A and B are shown apart, each in its own frame.
Chain A
């Protein structure tokens, strides 16, 4: 802030000089009269608005602190080892989210390989093979539009395509595939960025050694781009972990399910369990604490994943 004030002073002095000059020259030609009070007022308004803008920016911080404080304090006494290792129950004291965690892990087991293969392949095609063709343009426009389709619509697609057409019902596989399509655009765009960041002179060096395109991609481009690709992939997977609407649309039942044992089993996942418990607080107020405890588990998971992404990004600063 102090540097800002210096600038004001500078402006202020300039104004004074200008004013004295105009006074001297008053007799010779008519010049603009600069009102000292008006300048003072302008500077005051400027300072006030600077403070207002700052506090409006702090509003975000305030909300974040309240949100975290509320949720963490509501989870105290409920989030313990028993909660993490027990099965669901209609009795709040007995309920645990072991099966829910397994459900979320199951989703990840589908989402991670599917998005990586689809997303990275698409990015490689767009960046390395497509050139500036019409196909590339079509896919690019399509991806940017797909990224802005509401997630609940992906749920409708998943319900019609995976749920009913391929008869996967509301299994982990159906949920995982739906979420994969949802986060696909994010993985594609971040992988494209990572590939773009590989300097052209490395490709050139490889081609000059008689390497083919694929050899160059495999041996030179991908090894350099992989930290960037992983960072983007982790961020998009953490988006998938927290996503609720598409899974609800798929028809995940609000029942006390068995712990899923394979990808074709019905399941519930962290965000869905939060949703159902929140809805049911009307009946059983303690469910709010269970929901809060589950949110804490979800937020810590996301926090860890983001930290890993940042560590990977920082470790891979290359020297060229």
Chain B
């Protein structure tokens, strides 16, 4: 009992003595750390806008949205339309690969496959998603382009078709897993209702599950487009740096991301119009992807089914 009183007193004394400083400091420390992410976003927006502002002091909006792009010539011009064109075409090709394959994979994994095949396929998709984009770029340039050249003799060594396809392959796991999540969250009662009427798996999938999961699936497409627009290394390597305005996908084209990479790894002296043009292109790219993400969030919120 003596010891008991002793422990009790010691604990009470310690509590009385201990200052609550650490408990007051820690939340503030964590808040400061947490604000770094907000500051980063602000930093991105501010740098893009201020440096783009310098650019637009030199170049009018009208010239910016023109088809003539030759940043390094003696009398440089900064028309961005060739870049937008390259970005849209490469993303379009990527979507033509990623959406059908990604969606059917999702349908297979969610509705058709046994647990065992699922457990086998899912890790493969994860590995595919974890491969750095530079590796895909190398693959596009050194394997897919030569392969395509055998089919299309007129294909240039740098072209927008090959990186478009490889970019699509890179995005398959994203479309597949996001769409699968959406389909998996469709309650079983809906499926059972259709099966009970004698529907086949395909009919249940296309007529019941897909419509019910459509918002999540659409959101995954939009996010995939956003990803394709922002993708850099594959196009930087395999699509070249031609600044011509053309719709021929066997030709070399430059995307917005490719322009940024080419121009900085070249010699863009700080303060030149060329240097600021990076930020104008970057700002546009940021706005594009930001809008895509807002749309994706809106779709998945607005059309969320109430089961």
On whether the beta carbons of A302 and B112 are closer than 8 Å, the reply is no
In the complex, whether A14 has a CB less than 8 A from a CB of chain B is yes
Interface string of A1-39 (1 = CB under 8 A from B): 101100110010011001000000000000000000000
Instruction: Give the CA-CA distance A278 to B140 in the complex, in Å.
Output: 11
Instruction: Give the CA-CA distance A150 to B134 in the complex, in Å.
Output: 15
On whether the beta carbons of B112 and A145 are closer than 8 Å, the reply is no
Q: How far is the CB of B264 from chain A (nearest CB, A)?
A: 5
On whether the beta carbons of A213 and B33 are closer than 8 Å, the reply is no
* Nearest-CB residue, chain B, relative to A3: B114
Q: How large is the interface on A (under 10, 10 to 19, 20 to 34, 35 or more residues)?
A: 35 or more
* Nearest-CB residue, chain A, relative to B200: A46
* Nearest-CB residue, chain A, relative to B137: A278
Q: How far is the CB of B113 from chain A (nearest CB, A)?
A: 8
Within 8 Å CB of B301, what residues of A?
none
Within 8 Å CB of B176, what residues of A?
57, 60
| Residue among A18, A59, A159, A188 making CB contact with B264, cutoff 8 Å | A159
Q: How large is the interface on B (under 10, 10 to 19, 20 to 34, 35 or more residues)?
A: 35 or more
On whether the beta carbons of A57 and B257 are closer than 8 Å, the reply is no
| Residue among B34, B36, B132 making CB contact with A298, cutoff 8 Å | B132
On whether the beta carbons of B15 and A210 are closer than 8 Å, the reply is yes
In the complex, whether B26 has a CB less than 8 A from a CB of chain A is yes
Q: 8 Å CB contacts to A: which residues of B7-22?
A: 15, 20, 22
On whether the beta carbons of A181 and B40 are closer than 8 Å, the reply is yes
Q: 8 Å CB contacts to B: which residues of A265-297?
A: 271, 274-275, 278-279, 281-282, 288, 291-292, 295
* Known contacts A126-B34, A148-B289; A160 and B104 CB within 8 A of each other: no
On whether the beta carbons of A156 and B107 are closer than 8 Å, the reply is no
On whether the beta carbons of A152 and B285 are closer than 8 Å, the reply is yes
Instruction: Give the CA-CA distance A154 to B142 in the complex, in Å.
Output: 28
Q: How far is the CB of A318 from chain B (nearest CB, A)?
A: 23
Instruction: Give the CA-CA distance A18 to B197 in the complex, in Å.
Output: 10
| Residue among A52, A74, A143, A241 making CB contact with B37, cutoff 8 Å | A143
Interface string of B223-252 (1 = CB under 8 A from A): 100100111110011000000000000000
Within 8 Å CB of B121, what residues of A?
57, 60-61
In the complex, whether A64 has a CB less than 8 A from a CB of chain B is yes
* Nearest-CB residue, chain A, relative to B129: A60
| Residue among B132, B195, B285 making CB contact with A150, cutoff 8 Å | B285
On whether the beta carbons of A145 and B290 are closer than 8 Å, the reply is yes
* Known contacts A153-B282, A275-B137; A50 and B112 CB within 8 A of each other: yes
In the complex, whether B154 has a CB less than 8 A from a CB of chain A is no
In the complex, whether A91 has a CB less than 8 A from a CB of chain B is no
On whether the beta carbons of B130 and A302 are closer than 8 Å, the reply is yes
In the complex, whether A208 has a CB less than 8 A from a CB of chain B is no
On whether the beta carbons of A125 and B138 are closer than 8 Å, the reply is no
* Nearest-CB residue, chain A, relative to B157: A282
On whether the beta carbons of B282 and A152 are closer than 8 Å, the reply is yes
In the complex, whether B135 has a CB less than 8 A from a CB of chain A is yes
In the complex, whether A254 has a CB less than 8 A from a CB of chain B is yes
* Nearest-CB residue, chain B, relative to A12: B198
In the complex, whether B56 has a CB less than 8 A from a CB of chain A is no
Q: How far is the CB of B234 from chain A (nearest CB, A)?
A: 10
Task: Select the stretch in B41-49, B65-73, B76-84, B209-217 that faces chain A.
Answer: B41-49
Sample (17) of A-B pairs whose CB atoms are under 8 Å apart = A8-B200, A49-B202, A53-B105, A54-B117, A60-B125, A63-B128, A71-B138, A74-B142, A125-B34, A146-B40, A150-B289, A210-B15, A212-B20, A249-B261, A279-B237, A288-B142, A302-B132
The 3 closest A-B pairs by CB, nearest first: A150-B230, A242-B132, A121-B33
